[in-house]
Amino acid sequence: MPNPQDIFQLAQQTATQVTASPESWRRFLYTAAHNYHTTYLNQLLIHAQRPDATACATMQYWNEQAHRKVMYGSKSIIILQRHQGVPTAKRVFSMTDTVLTGDKAAAPWEVTDAIRPLLMQVNSVGSLMDRANEQVISLSERANRVLATSIEDSALNWSHPEDQRFILQELAAQSTLYMICIRLGIPVREEDFPAFRNVTQFDTSRISLCLGGYVQAAAEPLLDELGHEVMQLARDSVAIQAEPVHNTDTPSPTQMTSREELSQMMYTNVIGYQIPNLSLPKAKKTNLNRYGRMRLDYLEQNEPNLCDQMMLEGTLLPSCRKMGLDAQQMVDKTLHDLMQKAQMPDRKTNPLGWAQMCNSLKQQAEEMILPMLYEV
């Protein structure tokens, strides 16, 4: 059996390949549109392994909750999940690898030919573009922070800072609209998305993760809203029996040339299922103190795309550990200085008062280092 491929290397390789040309980016967005609930990092991994995959979920979900069953011989997909900064591999399957086992089987929403005109009465392409722009603008502050940490060594770095932000925002908005069009079955033309010509400037894995994370964060809530509208129309209309259609004007990932396939994936048969030969790099055990954990929690909750970047580069936990140790030193020094200046109760005669004063001063010292923990 060949040596397994490093999944981090696969993700970084794919991140630069999907932004190598407008055509590659469009084909990636096809995959992303059908897996919009997962992160950009996992969209990249799905695209690298199974670009035609739809609504990927675990075998347990398909077999036990969705009234479906994963077929024997199906090829699984390895994606990543992160727990306390540590990446672990997760095995998922495309819905197209399942068969129905009940009358109420779960399935992603789709737009039928009969429902589409009803949907477009209140969602013209122009209004969809407006919604995409509004969503992208609402996320621009966070995206610009990530851009500032990601732009080094990229072609975009040659542009003026204002142009950099404009290019990112315009490309994110048009990419979001493109994903919406894919899911709604709206015909798309290359000339309708001129910002895609700038995607080649996102030519490092770091800046690709910046762009892709921005698009995923903008597209997910909009597609969720449209999905609810579609399902409501389906319930209200006799057209629910019509067959769903896909956007035939958009190149399907299955039409990729061999040059554009992102990896020649090798598989191992495990109890009847094909498992990709992918492995996680060996990680050194990293212990975080309280302030290091606070830093990690902040990044995971507020800067998930930056977390993915740092995780792929192997710097997430080491940087949190260093910042935690630096913060501890600052707190200790500040607390010592405050105690020297304060009129402390006698520790022997008034231990409770001494402890209360120490806690109060420590809280002051910690408040001084919080901005360091909560910045990008």
pLDDT, tens only, 174-183: 999 999 999 9
Residue 238 amino acid letter: V
- What does the alpha-carbon distance between residue 54 and residue 361 come to, in Å, rounded to a whole number? 55
pTM (2 d.p.): 0.85
What rounded mean pLDDT belongs to the chain? 88
Q: What is the pLDDT of residue 283?
A: 74
Q: What is the pLDDT of residue 360?
A: 92
Q: What is the pLDDT of residue 173?
A: 97
Interval 277-288 mean pLDDT: 83
Q: What is the pLDDT of residue 183?
A: 93
Task: Give the residue among 75, 9, 72 at the shortest CA–CA distance from 266.
Answer: 75
Whole-angstrom CA distances from 194 to 144, 189, 222, 291 are 21, 10, 22, 45
Assess contact for 7 and 280: CB atoms under 8 A. Answer: yes
Q: pLDDT band at residue 3, thresholds of 50, 70 and 90? A: low
Q: What is the pLDDT of residue 248?
A: 40
pLDDT, tens only, 240-262: 444 444 444 444 544 444 334 44
- What does the alpha-carbon distance between residue 328 and residue 362 come to, in Å, rounded to a whole number? 11
53 pLDDT more than 50: yes
Whole-angstrom CA distances from 84 to 5, 37, 88, 91, 306 are 24, 21, 11, 19, 15
Task: Give the residue among 312, 365, 376 at the shortest CA–CA distance from 340.
Answer: 365
pLDDT, tens only, 213-222: 999 999 999 9
Assess contact for 204 and 153: CB atoms under 8 A. Answer: yes
Assess contact for 37 and 220: CB atoms under 8 A. Answer: yes
Q: What is the pLDDT of residue 127?
A: 92
Q: What is the pLDDT of residue 243?
A: 42
- What does the alpha-carbon distance between residue 65 and residue 7 come to, in Å, rounded to a whole number? 29
> What is residue 68's three-state secondary structure?
strand
The residues near 60 (Cβ < 8 Å, ≥ 6 apart) are none
| Tokens 């990530």, located at residue | 146
Q: What is the pLDDT of residue 138?
A: 96
Interval 341-355 mean pLDDT: 90
pLDDT, tens only, 286-333: 899 999 999 999 999 888 888 998 999 889 999 999 999 999 999 999
Quote the strand ranges of 220-362, DSSP E.
267-270, 273-276, 278-279
Go through 285-322 and write b for each residue having 16 or more CB atoms within 10 A of its CB, e for each that does not: ebebeebbbbbbebbbeebbbbbbbbbbeeebbebbbe
- What does the alpha-carbon distance between residue 221 and residue 125 come to, in Å, rounded to a whole number? 17
Q: pLDDT band at residue 125, thresholds of 50, 70 and 90? A: confident
Percentage of the chain modeled with pLDDT above 70 = 91
**What percent of the chain is helix, strand and coil (3-state, nearest 5)?**
60, 10, 30
**Least confident piece of the model among 144-158, 176-190, 248-262, 266-280:** 248-262
Assess contact for 32 and 43: CB atoms under 8 A. Answer: yes
Q: What is the pLDDT of residue 262?
A: 43
Each domain of the chain, given as residue ranges in start order, spans: 5-279, 290-373
